[in-house]
Amino acid sequence: MFEPVEITAAFVAGLLSFFSPCILPLVPSYFSFIAGVSMDELSQTATGAIRRKIILSTLAFVLGFSLIFILLGATAAIFSGFFMGAKSYIRIIGGALVLILGLHLLGVFRIQALDVEKRIHLNHKPVHFLGAFVIGMAFGAGWSPCIGPLLGSILILAGNQDTVGQGIGLLAVYSAGVALPFMVLSMTVHLLFGFVRRANKMLRFINIGAGLLLIATGLLLITDKFKMIAGIAF
């Protein structure tokens, strides 16, 4: 079973991914798109029918991108399973990569490939549950380059698990971290624009926190100290 520290790291990484430049500033547009409502309707106190529509559409949307992330976790765990004899080497190399990704987020240096946003642009709103689910899958795939440092670090952790089920579980926790702010905002949608404006001002500090989280995760992987930390903390 994976360690509680790994679960915490995966969930926090998911939360921080929500605050990435390709998600947070565009959250009002996402809600408008997947629920088929106007920006004016989002900025006002919604009626019961509109509120239910937004919540259900958001639920389908987060299930869609969660499926993509979980499939990526399963792939990482399966791939790692072919190299059980080299598990220690994979852990050390993976830890070094996570460390580099953390330095990228801190701005010590920039990896140009991770600064490219490959978000999918669509013109027609889905306005139904299945459509929102499919769009969630599309955006989950499109977000991957933008949230690469955080998602990549959790995929490396998933690849270091003993079973495919554990790798899937870790990405499910990460997905829950990304999904939670979406679901909370869908229930308080009239506060959405104010929240995004305030949170945008904190992006620099969020990136610093994310970078420090990845550096700590990378060091723990390299030194194989996850179990020791878990024993102290829990």
What's the rounded mean pLDDT across residues 81-94? 68
Domain that holds residue 133: 4-233
So what's the pLDDT on residue 120? 47
Name every residue whose Cβ is closer than 8 Å to that of residue 41 and which is 6 or more positions away in sequence. 50
Q: What average pLDDT is seen over the chain?
A: 78
What's the rounded mean pLDDT across residues 62-78? 90
Quickly state the pLDDT bin for 83 (edges 50, 70, 90): low
Tally of domains in the chain: 1
Quickly state the pLDDT bin for 190 (edges 50, 70, 90): confident
pLDDT tens-place string over residues 122-181: 555 555 678 889 888 888 877 766 777 888 888 888 888 778 888 899 999 999 999 999
So what's the pLDDT on residue 12? 92
What's the rounded mean pLDDT across residues 54-82? 87
What pTM was estimated for this model as a whole?
A: 0.77
Instruction: Note the Cα 146 to chain centre separation in Å.
Output: 10
Per-residue b or e along 99-123, where b marks 16 or more CB atoms closer than 10 Å to that residue's CB? bbbbbbbbeeeeeeebeeeeeeeee
Name every residue whose Cβ is closer than 8 Å to that of residue 45 and which is 6 or more positions away in sequence. 190
User: By the 8 A CB rule, do 18 and 196 touch?
Assistant: no
pLDDT greater than 60 at residue 232: no
